[in-house]
Chain A
């Protein structure tokens, strides 16, 4: 690996831009994602920034149990993100539908059958530290050496 590539990798893994999309949650997980931005957890110290624009994003946080209104739309958002990219689901809802996946409800979990998911963070809601850890682990596996692995 030449020095230029090393610098590129180092810079890339210190500059993760996050977009989040709520596909039908109770807002509990949204609040925990919000808490990551606050000084108590302060995600910018790890080089993670929230932009909420898929064209600028590296990581997509998916929150919620996938309501019918998101059919096709979520895949569209996912396709707009330029590679390298990764999607992380936050909370129980995108994994199992949590308490909403009952008889007669219209939600369609898990989200991973609609778009490829790199990591899942269980919990209702998960702690901000758990969300952060997931983003950091994805950073290390997906973004650290992307060009070498995708020639």
Chain B
């Protein structure tokens, strides 16, 4: 009994124990390399596809701004929630964060965008503002004038007999210029984000 008590006390005068008691430190304050931090630029050229801004769920978190003669995505700390969706959405791998890009490559995943144009026929007056404002329409039919009439079949939408008609929804790039130019709030663009995974075949990398 007495001996075991002495043995017990002896534990506390061991140099190693005293050193640990006084100077023990947990791991230093560094983030591990796999931590998904604020997205960082990889150095690849931004093509102004704006998919990052479309995917971002946090208001005001990402903005693609002019830098020299090109573009660069700018992350606003205090708004960004570090979800990494912009990293996944960018088709040009301009941003990186943690090991998102490596995981996407390994698992064969990607994010695809598509857009739905919804026009409320009760609100629409057929003014054609949206048709003339749309930059894709402008490329397809440079002659389209006020009123949104066009004989071109390649446009996204045009006004026919006083009614708006959507012809090529698939060409929409989701810029929402039409939404801001509509005087009645009749046109709405829904951005649809789909996650895809390429099935990995056995034995093939």
Residue in contact with A96 in the complex, picked from B25, B30, B38, B79, CB distance below 8 Å: B79
A99–B59 CB distance below 8 A? yes
Chain A residues within 8 Å of B76, by CB: 96
Chain B residues within 8 Å of A133, by CB: 29
Within 8 A of A (CB), among B1-57: 24-27, 29-31, 35, 38, 57
Question: A92 an interface residue at 8 Å Cβ cutoff?
Answer: yes
Tell me which of A40, A42, A96, A132 has the highest count of chain B C-beta atoms within 10 A of its own C-beta: A96
A42–B31 CB distance below 8 A? no
Chain B residues within 8 Å of A129, by CB: 29-31
Question: A45 an interface residue at 8 Å Cβ cutoff?
Answer: yes
A99–B57 CB distance below 8 A? yes
B24–A96 CB distance below 8 A? no
A40–B81 CB distance below 8 A? no
Chain A residues within 8 Å of B78, by CB: 92, 95-96, 120, 122
Question: A39 an interface residue at 8 Å Cβ cutoff?
Answer: yes
B26–A41 CB distance below 8 A? yes
Chain A residues within 8 Å of B60, by CB: 96
In whole Å, how far is A29's beta carbon from the nearest beta carbon of chain B? 12
Within 8 A of B (CB), among A99-151: 99, 101-102, 120, 122-124, 127, 129-130, 132-133
B35–A98 CB distance below 8 A? no
In whole Å, how far is A98's beta carbon from the nearest beta carbon of chain B? 7
A99–B31 CB distance below 8 A? no
Within 8 A of A (CB), among B134-180: none
Closest to A103 in B: B59
A42–B29 CB distance below 8 A? no
How many B residues touch A, CB cutoff 8 Å? 20
Chain B residues within 8 Å of A42, by CB: 26
A99–B81 CB distance below 8 A? yes
Chain A residues within 8 Å of B29, by CB: 129, 132-133
A101 to B80, CA, bound (A): 13
In whole Å, how far is B21's beta carbon from the nearest beta carbon of chain A? 11
Residue in contact with A101 in the complex, picked from B30, B57, B59, CB distance below 8 Å: B59
A45–B24 CB distance below 8 A? yes
Within 8 A of B (CB), among A67-121: 92, 95-96, 98-99, 101-102, 120
Residue in contact with B82 in the complex, picked from A45, A101, A123, CB distance below 8 Å: A123
B81–A92 CB distance below 8 A? yes
A125 to B58, CA, bound (A): 13
In whole Å, how far is A20's beta carbon from the nearest beta carbon of chain B? 19
Interfacial residues, chain B to chain A (CB-CB below 8 A): 24-27, 29-31, 35, 38, 57-60, 76-82
Given contacts A99-B58, A127-B31, 13 further A-B contacts (CB under 8 A): A41-B26, A45-B25, A92-B80, A99-B57, A99-B81, A101-B59, A102-B59, A123-B77, A123-B82, A124-B80, A129-B29, A132-B29, A133-B29
